[in-house]
Amino acid sequence: MMPALRALQSLVGAAALVASSLLGLAPGAEASAQVYNPCARLSAGQVRFSAYGANRVTFATATDRGSDVVAITGCVRSGTGYAQEWQDWGYVGLKGFAAGGTWEDTWKSPSGSFSITEALGRRNPGTALGYHTVKPDSRWGGERGATYNQYFEGAGGESDENLFSLMNQGYYEQAAVINYNRLPDMPTVQGASFAIFFHAGRVPSAGCVSTSLATVTRLLQTDRPGDRIIMGAVDDVFTPYSSNPFGAISAEYGSTGGTFGRLGAPTSNEVVGRRDGGAYQLFQNGAINWSPQAGAHVSQGGIRSAWARNGFEDGPLGYPTSEETGGLPGGGVYQMYQGGAIVWGPGAGAHATRGAIRSAYAALGFERGPLGYAVSDEAGGLRGGGAYQLFQGGALYWSPATGAHLSSARSAAPGRAQATRPGPSAIRPAMSCGSAAGSTSATRAGRSTGRHPPARML
């Protein structure tokens, strides 16, 4: 965005100190929190935003959210990790980084991982990115409407940036477009900031990343469409926990928004060696589980607690095969698994349905039918190896001899009484309440809190 110049000579001295510390020339005390080996941290999977397997990744990190001075490092894929190609320093928004996304007039740069697909400037330096040669009528859309956060040519409006004028002031001699608030990374939201560039002309701005012309030119000459920039304060970007930087769990975590998304920060390493070659990683607000057959999916909240009761992936449900999906009556949600589903409903909680009982439940219309939501998990212990499950409007019973059938269906209207479990004459006293498959793995160490047991770590 349009640079905001500072008329303070002291800034030049401060910038020189930052540059010398970045290059290893007597680093100062304030630089100790900076991370100067981001490529190694990315190789170890210790980055909270996904690189999505990009061939080249540029880091721009500040010591804290309020700082506008950043270390800028270029990384390239090398073998099973990333190697450093170059390092420089520069500025971001005048007020540093936002905790996630940013908006117009906040003078903050967004935090996160963003792709680079376009560039602009005086003349094409030999880039593979889509390049716009800046002309007298070149504009970047700041006016609300179809051209918002897009390159276009025309007279423009008051809020549109005059790229030609800014280029001739030394700021947009060369620039790469950071795909914040624009496709392909995200839909454009009017007012959620525009013209976030990686540009020449090292100066604090309203949200861009700025550095030397030589560094910007080098990035344009080496980056390909889809390469990325990861930017933010070091504590928002890096984590001490490791995961596979090229793996599905890292990509899934990135799709949730990373550290600013619904999962929060990582709280464990990626743990491998699970059932069927699967893996998982724990976060502040849940987990991501992956298997070759089911893919990577988020697990959290009441549905995750129900999965824990059923033995996680070691139980009859296996791995999740979908994300949580809403839109059920009363605000209910569900998640699909290899062996069934877990459904949460208001007043009913989260419970698994599977097998023949689930098939009978489906034939009755699931939660929209007379049974409503499940109010218990499936329980075994009935005569002849039978099982049952309780619902808001009744119960479903199953036995090898009779199959699954409905008992005591009640009105489907809201407020119906919940069914009660069978009387003691129908139950084997020695059996505890659990799944019909007899899984007791939920009692293992760590399972009562929704955490996985220890296993092999990366």
Q: Tell me, what's the pLDDT at 1?
A: 53
C-alpha to C-alpha distance for 278 and 361, rounded to whole angstroms: 30
Write the pLDDT tens digit of every residue in 239-278: 999 999 999 999 999 999 888 999 999 999 999 999 999 9
What pTM value is reported for the model? 0.75
* Mean pLDDT (whole number) for 62-80: 96
| Mean per-residue pLDDT, 320-326 | 96
Say how far apart CA 143 and CA 156 lie, in whole Å. Answer: 8
CB-CB contact of 198 with 116 (8 Å): yes
φ, ψ of residue 118 in degrees (nearest 5): -130, 160
How far is it, in rounded angstroms, from Cα 33 to Cα 308? 39
| Beta-sheet strand order (sheet of 332-337) | 325-328, 332-337, 340-345, 349-353
- How big is the chain by its Cα radius of gyration, in Å? 28
Residues 437, 355: Cα–Cα separation, whole Å: 10
Among all chains, which residue has been given the structure tokens 């909680």? 349
Report residue 431's pLDDT band, with 50, 70 and 90 as the boundaries.
Answer: very low
What is the phi/psi pair of residue 220, to 5°?
Answer: -65, -35
Indicate whether 26 pLDDT > 70. Answer: no
For 336, counting Cβ atoms within 10 Å of its Cβ (0-12 exposed, 13-18 middle, 19+ buried), the class is middle
Percent with pLDDT over 90 in the chain? 72
> With bands split at pLDDT 50, 70 and 90, how would you rate the model's confidence at 416?
very low
According to DSSP, the β-strands at 56-62 and 227-233 are parallel
Per the DSSP assignment, residues forming a β-bridge with 162 are 139
Using CB atoms within 10 Å of the CB of residue 3, give its burial: 0 to 12 exposed, 13 to 18 middle, 19+ buried. buried
**DSSP conformation letters of 249-298:** HHHHHHHTTGGGSTT-SB-S--EE--GGG-EEEEETTEEEEEETTTEEEE
Q: Residue 436: its pLDDT value, please?
A: 31
For the cut 50, the answer to whether the pLDDT of residue 12 exceeds it is no
pLDDT score at 450: 39
C-alpha span between 82 and 99 (Å, rounded): 26
Distance CA 335, CA 304 (A): 10
